[in-house]
Structure 1
Amino acid sequence: MASNFHFRLSEDLSLILDDADDYNVIIQVGENQNTKEFRAHSVILRARSPYFKVALSTNWITKKDNMIMFNKPNITPTVFHMILKYIYTGELDLTKQSGENILGLLVASDELLLEELFKHVRDYLIEKQTKWVDKNFVLVLNAVFRLDNCKKLQDYCFKSICENPLPFFSSKIFPSLNKEILFDLLERDDLQIKEVIVWDYLIKWGIEQTSGLGNENSDRAKWNNKDYEELKKTLNQIIPLIRFTEISRADFFDKVRPYRIIIPNHIYEEIEEFYYKDALPKTTILPPRTGYSFEIGKIESNIIKPILAKLIVNWIGNDQLYRFKLIYRGSRDGISNKSFREKCKGRVASLVLIKVKDTNKVFGGYSSIGFCSLGNDFTLINSDDYHDFRFYNSSDNFIFSFENSEDTRHMKISRVVNKSQAILDIDRSGFNFGWGSLSMNNINLHANNHSNNYENNLKTDTVYTIKEIEIFNISNQ
């Protein structure tokens, strides 16, 4: 019968470690004021660690009075004590260790080729998801991204940062973050932070990373062309990761424009066209970050992609933060004038989106005053036994069309021309922009603009059949 006496073996080896009288290795670890000498046995180190098996070979070792002398300044005394405890006894207790010590143990066990120990520490960090990670973002990232077989921990670190990014960006050691790590982070779509803040900290990081700038030359007013060119070299790979379309016009003017010289020309020209011509970039566009989108947050549309919603928000303008609340969907609530008017009453800023049958076209319109039953502020232009015709005033309304749910190349927008007749409230229509400029009559959609109350960019005699329709109420965050 086979028997195991591991506990007694571990206990005896622990005594050898703590009170060795026949040791033949002295290992000095740590640096500056935090150093310590440990006594060990080469036969045990070589048996337990492939690293020491090579490092303690006759070709590498330095001897003094027949004693092997070994230095490991990059490992702290606390961490090395845990390593020796594991090597001699197979025991390890991480519950009372600081996050910094656990991280140091992870890095050291990887270096010393202690695969079992490395996997245990890595899995412990993932399982516990300890709060210290949030306080030492840069320390963690710079360490774990040097390690193989650590992708899950890397993913956890990124996820932790994306959920609460400000402590990371504002930390004093953020400027020392490795460029490749920063690239991987800014490439993510789930970073929950305003894009203008990302831009601000990217500039700060670039300044600290650029020779000749930083503390010795932090006043931008004193920079010359060479300084800007050096900063451009530092940031050239990272700038394309910025979602410039998520930055407001005011912030673009105040915070991005002063650094125009460091932004590649094709990117800057496309962003200018976006802000001043309502044209989305064609080569540099990235989707809004799902965690934090500048104006729209998350728009729950089955008709358009988020990038088109971003463009619509830009048309609305005013550099506001908006929330879009879905209040009506044809496939859910029924496509009819009655169902529309029941769901979409009131003087509330609203967006309508329409997908029509037998084509990829998407139509829509924005009304700052809503669509129907808007109250007493109206002009009654006609009345009979069946209908009241009421026009409402708005200077902000517009209608638009896209060729499909994510294509901006053939987009069209028509803003209101006759502001006193921006919206017609009539019970034989669901909604009616300017008497037929864009209107719903049950399942039919018209865009004839016979009244010329809107610009003439969408005019068509085609009567489309509505396949899907959505209404969103819009409010400031």
Structure 2
Amino acid sequence: MSLNFFDKLSQDLIELLNDGDDYNVIIEVENKKKSFTAHSNVLKFRSSYFRRELENIQPNENNIKIIIKSCISAQIFNVILQYIYGGIVDLENCETRFIYDLMLAADEFELDELTNKLETLLIETKSSWLKTHFSFIYHFIFSRKDFKKLKNFCNDIIVKYPNLIFDSNDFTSLKESALISLIKRNDLQIEEIKIWDYVIKWGIAQTSTLPTNLDDWTKENFLTLKATLQQCLPHIRYFHLSGIEVLDKIKPYKRILDKQLWNDIDQHLIAPERPISLVTELPTRSEKSFSAIISEEHAAEISTWIDRKTTAYTLTNIPYKFELILRGTQDGFAPQTFWDICHGHACTVVLVKVKGTDEIIGGYNPLTWDKNTDGKWIETKDSFIFSLKNGDIQNSILSRVKTTQLAVLNRSKNDQIKGGPYFADFWMYSGKSDFTLNDCCRSFHWYCEKPIRSLSSSYFSIINYEVFKIVRKTI
């Protein structure tokens, strides 16, 4: 048995911070206009950044170590200290730009927990602000090594609207890592030859010594450009270009390509049916992924569970198509929408992205959703709920229904206003008739084999959900 008293501990540590006695560190911020006192033991055990700083600073005559952080505002650093000591961050009435700047400061001080929370908060609740300041944010976050979620958020936008970056005035100042993260995407919605043009434009801009006229280029000039683009060139889909595109656009720069690659391109134009010598050929860029929540690997795993296979399906032998019926971000999050759209559909998978975490949970209903009942449980042994491996979630969890007569509930008409799909141990519900607005969705452990969530609270809200009809492929 464990008794936890974190609230009192947090309060006491905040009082220690505010007491002003026995401090041995002073942090000067905002061009030395404001200073804060702190305690080295607290700082170094809460932040690896402060641990390194304190180890490299000699104390003054009063045995005080002084850290200068001129570019940090006093308001932001005060919040940082409140978090370090008490684990509390009050964002009430804070502007979005302040939250963004706080995230950057938390990253600088290597406060990973706070950084990740703020990053998730911005994406899930401040997406409109991020889109309004898109170019500024995009260029900056790719100058940092972290912020994987924000980078993915931005790239998910750019693949649909590539002109936001490729046609911007500061495109050539883009970091190499940002450019590569884009051109490697299979869902980048832009003509392949245009990607080549942009890559060449970017590469030339990185070297001011290259002649303006291509006819004046020497062998050394081509080698210089090849070195600049060595990480970018492997991501071009050369074998999906037309003959005219290769002759007009690629051939003038063939000296920046490896000799074998150019020979393969040349051969492909003459005899496209003949195998090329390269070990791997990049796939054609598709317009969009089939799902905004799961991957093909997840689809293979769910298919394996549906068929009760002991050997997992691979990407090449998935026997089902996942046909999208409903997507929250397209069709809305009102519970009644689920019943109106999914009524009459059988063999469906409901997928949910949980707010504030990396969790993907869901359920499979082999029977028919029916909105015209007064509330009726339907019996089946083939229904199951699950959570999928994703982000920090290391392993997927499958939980088949045990109490088969309570496998799936078709809600009554009156209940459909607030209640969505209902599996034995997992339901979607909202008192505000919007699944994203309150923590009323729930998973529990009553009628299935095992719980699918390990979090202490069984209630949660969502940021998106999808419903797919599972249709067996025809040979």
TM-score, normalising length from structure 1? 0.48
Structure with max Cα Rg: 1
